[in-house]
Amino acid sequence: MLFASVTDFFLDPIVNAGTDFISTTGLPAVFILMALESACLPVPSEAIMLFAGASVAEGELTLFGVVAAGVLGNLVGSWAAYAIGYYGRIDLLDKNKLIHISPKHLKWADDWFERYGSATVFFSRMLPIVRTFISLPAGVAKMPFWRFTVLTLLGCIPWVLMLALIGEQVGENWEEWRDHLHFLDYAVVAAVLIGIVYLLIRRRRGGGPTAKPETVGDGANAEPAGSSDA
Residue 147: per-residue pLDDT:
93
pLDDT for 124 equals 85
Q: What is the pLDDT of residue 187?
A: 53
What is the spatial distance between Cα 25 and Cα 61, in angstroms, rounded to a whole number?
Answer: 11
Which of helix, strand or coil describes residue 205?
A: helix
Element (H, E) at 216: strand 215-216
Q: What is the mean pLDDT of each run of 10 residues along the chain (230 residues)?
A: 53 87 96 94 89 93 97 96 82 51 62 80 84 86 92 94 92 73 53 54 57 48 49
Most distant CA atoms of the chain, gap in Å: 78
Per domain, the residue ranges of the chain are 6-205
Question: What pLDDT is recorded for position 224?
Answer: 52
Q: What is the rounded distance in angstroms from the CA atom of residue 29 to the CA atom of residue 19?
A: 9
- The pLDDT of residue 46 is 87
pTM of the model: 0.72
Among candidates 119, 117, 120, 122, which has minimal Cα distance to 157? 122
